[in-house]
């Protein structure tokens, strides 16, 4: 099944990165893997410019979430701020004040 996930080369098109990341997350959801195992699999799927970026960046923390944050910074920075931008205060109704 792992061969189904495409390689990620490098792209200025954030939609291509988003699709690749979503495909990875879907695959990861089928298996009980550690973050380190997810990291190694995702790293194997980096080729071309994306691989060389990873190789040159010396990311020592072998955690999928750390690698994901670094990749998002480069290829989909809007992901990093989407949760903050779309955050709304909870709509909590106030209790009615008692009438005198």
52-72 burial: b if 16+ Cβ within 10 Å, else e: ebbeeeebeeeebeebbeebb
Q: In 10 A of CB 51, how many CB atoms?
A: 17
- Give the 3-state secondary structure of residue 86: coil
> Taking Cα atoms as reference points, which of 8, 29, 26 lies closest to residue 71?
8
pTM > 0.85: no
Average pLDDT by consecutive 10-residue portion of the chain (100 residues)? 76 88 92 92 92 82 89 84 51 60
Q: What is the pLDDT of residue 87?
A: 43
Compute the half-sphere exposure of residue 25: CA atoms within 13 Å on the CB side of its CA: 8
């Amino acid at each position: 099944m792992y061969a189904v996930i495409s390689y990620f080369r490098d792209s200025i098109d954030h939609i291509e990165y988003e699709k690749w990341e979503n495909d990875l997350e879907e695959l990861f959801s089928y298996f009980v893997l550690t973050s380190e195992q997810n990291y190694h699999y995702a790293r194997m799927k980096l080729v071309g410019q994306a691989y060389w970026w990873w190789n040159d960046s010396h990311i020592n923390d072998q955690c999928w979430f750390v690698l994901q944050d670094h990749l998002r910074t480069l290829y989909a920075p809007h992901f990093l701020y989407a949760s903050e931008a779309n955050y709304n205060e909870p709509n909590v109704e106030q209790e009615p004040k008692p009438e005198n």
